[in-house]
Amino acid sequence: MQEVLKNRENVSALADGQLHGEEFARAAEWAARDADGQMTWQAYHGVGDLLRTGEWGASSRDAAFMARFKVRLQQEPLPSRQFESPELIAIQVIDAPARAQKSFKNEAANDATYRWKRLAGFASVLAVVAVGFLASGMWDGQRGSPQLAQAAEATIQPNQAASGPPGDGPNLMIRNSELDALLAAHRQFGGTTAFQVPTGFLRNATFEGGGR
Amino acid sequence: MPSPFMARRTCARVLQAGALVFSMWGGSVAAQTGVEAPAPIATNGVKTTERSASEWLLRMHEASRQRNYMGTFVVQAGGHLSSARIWHACDGVQQMERVESLSGTPRSTFRRNDEVTTFLPASRVAILEKRESLGLFPHVLQAANSSIDKLYRVQTSGHERVAGLEADVVRLRPQDNLRFGYRIWSERKTGLVVKLQTLDADGRVLEQAAFSELQLDAPVSMANLNHLMGKTEGYRVEKPGLVKTTSADEGWALKKEVPGFKSMSCFKRARVGTSVTAQDATFQWIFSDGLASVSLFVDAYDANRHASPGYRVMGATHTLTQRMGNWWLTAVGEVPLHTLSAFALALERKD
Co-location of B214 and B252 in the same domain:
no
Nearest Cα neighbor of B340 from A127, A180, A164 is A127
**Percentage, residues of chain A above pLDDT 90:** 0
Residue B312 belongs to some domain of the structure: yes
Contact between chains at B173 and A172 (C-beta distance less than 8 A) = no
Co-location of B165 and B281 in the same domain:
no
The yes-or-no verdict on residue B88 having pLDDT over 90 is: yes
Maximum alpha-carbon separation in chain B: 73
Nearest CA in chain A to B201: A100
By Cβ distance, the residue of B32, B85, B209 closest to A22 is B85
Q: Check residues B142 and B171 and name the one with the higher pLDDT.
A: B171
The mean per-residue pLDDT over the stretch B41-55 comes to: 59
Residue B46 belongs to some domain of the structure: no
By Cβ distance, the residue of B7, B111, B256 closest to A201 is B111
Residue B30 belongs to some domain of the structure: no
Mean residue pLDDT across chain A: 57
Q: Domain boundary residue among B229, B263, B297?
A: B229
Q: Domain boundary residue among B229, B256, B287?
A: B229
Nearest CA in chain B to A28: B21
Q: With H, G, I as helix, E, B as strand and everything else as coil, classify residue B117.
A: strand
pLDDT at A171 (0 to 100): 65
Contact between chains at B177 and A96 (C-beta distance less than 8 A) = yes
State the residue range of the domain holding B159: 53-229
By Cβ distance, the residue of A117, A131, A203 closest to B337 is A131
Residue B37 belongs to some domain of the structure: no
Kindly report, residue by residue over B149-179, the tens digit of the pLDDT: 889 999 998 999 999 999 999 999 999 999 9
Residues of chain A with Cβ-Cβ distance to B311 below 8 Å are: 128, 131-132, 135, 170-173
By Cβ distance, the residue of B32, B105, B288 closest to A192 is B288
Kindly report, residue by residue over A190-205, the tens digit of the pLDDT: 556 677 666 777 888 8
Q: Check residues A69 and B19 and name the one with the higher pLDDT.
A: A69
pLDDT at B346 (0 to 100): 96
Task: Compute the C-alpha angle B114/B191/A186, nearest 5°.
Answer: 35
Nearest CA in chain B to A164: B308
Name beta bridge partners: B89. B96
Co-location of B175 and B214 in the same domain:
yes
Contact between chains at A193 and B297 (C-beta distance less than 8 A) = no
CATH number at residue B214: 2.50.20.10
pLDDT at A4 (0 to 100): 76
Burial annotation B311-343 (CB, 10 A radius, 16+ → b, else e):
bbbbbbbbbbbbbbeebbbbbbbbbbbbbbbbb
CATH number at residue B295: 3.30.200.100
Q: Domain boundary residue among B229, B259, B292?
A: B229
Tell me the domain boundaries of chain A.
Answer: 1-60, 77-172, 175-212
pLDDT at A151 (0 to 100): 30
Kindly report, residue by residue over A132-165, the tens digit of the pLDDT: 433 433 333 333 333 333 332 222 222 233 233 3
Nearest CA in chain A to B209: A203
Co-location of B79 and B220 in the same domain:
yes
Co-location of B248 and B205 in the same domain:
no
Co-location of B154 and B253 in the same domain:
no
Distance of alpha carbon B108 from its chain centroid, rounded?
18
* pTM of the entire predicted model: 0.63
Q: With H, G, I as helix, E, B as strand and everything else as coil, classify residue B351.
A: coil
For residues B284 and B128, give the distance between their C-alpha atoms in angstroms, rounded to a whole number: 19
Q: Check residues B334 and A129 and name the one with the higher pLDDT.
A: B334
Domain count, chain B: 2
Q: Which of A7-11, A38-42, B177-181, B232-236 has the lowest mean pLDDT?
A: A38-42
Sheet holding B165-174, edge to edge: B152-162, B165-174, B181-187, B193-199, B205-216, B69-77, B80-90, B95-101, B108-112, B115-120, B125-130, B236-238
